[in-house]
């Protein structure tokens, strides 16, 4: 089985971007960590884009191929209704979608306190650094 791990804008800069908030490890380190956690029989397909349309299309792929999704929508979390509507297609099709955040957005600026994605996600895990993704992987496995 395959799990899509989709990352939104500016997460390609992990490692050098605000390390006090996001840590000093980059996406390739996350890919290695998740591959280790996944073990045999689970393929981690980790992707990143700064492009809203590309994320929307990846969610269509999840719907059409019924692939569970771990989604860090990054700043799109807070304002992308297009991404929300695409995420709703996934969960309404009965495919799990877990929203993750590295930081705890609720402990940060007010504009980060609202997620337009959470209402259509299967669940949300935030605030545990890269461990948020590991916990999300456990959650999608149970859901699957």
- List contacts with ligand DQA (CB under 6 A): 10, 72, 74-75, 77, 101-103, 105, 112
Nearer to ligand DQA, 65 or 104 (CB): 104
Annotation-wise, does 102 bind a ligand? yes
Find all residues with CB under 8 Å of 91, minimum gap 6, and list them: 97, 120, 121, 122
Is 80 known as a binding-site position? no
* 22 is known as an active-site residue: yes
Q: Identify the bridge partners of residue 2 per DSSP, sorted by sequence position.
A: 43
**Cβ atoms of residues 68 and 95 within 8 Å:** yes
Q: How far is the CB of 132 from ligand DQA (least distance, A)?
A: 7
Q: How far is the CB of 74 from ligand DQA (least distance, A)?
A: 3
> Known binder of ligand: residue 113?
no
CB burial of 5-24 (b: ≥16 within 10 Å; e: otherwise) equals bbbbbebeebeeeeeeebbe
Please say if 133 is a catalytic residue.
Answer: no
Q: Which residues are catalytic?
A: 22, 101
């Amino acid at each position: 089985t395959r799990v899509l791990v989709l990352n939104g804008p500016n997460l390609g800069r992990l490692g050098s971007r605000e390390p006090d908030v996001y840590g000093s490890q980059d996406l390739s380190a996350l890919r290695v960590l998740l591959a280790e956690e996944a073990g045999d029989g689970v393929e981690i397909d980790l992707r990143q884009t700064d492009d809203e349309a590309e994320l929307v299309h990846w969610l269509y792929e999840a719907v059409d191929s019924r692939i569970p999704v771990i989604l860090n929508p990054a700043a799109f979390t807070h304002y992308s209704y297009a991404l929300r509507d695409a995420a709703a297609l996934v969960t309404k099709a009965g495919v799990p979608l877990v929203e993750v955040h590295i930081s705890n957005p609720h402990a940060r600026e007010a504009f980060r306190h609202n997620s337009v994605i959470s209402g259509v996600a299967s669940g949300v895990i935030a605030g545990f650094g890269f461990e948020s993704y590991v916990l999300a992987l456990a959650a999608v496995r149970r859901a699957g």
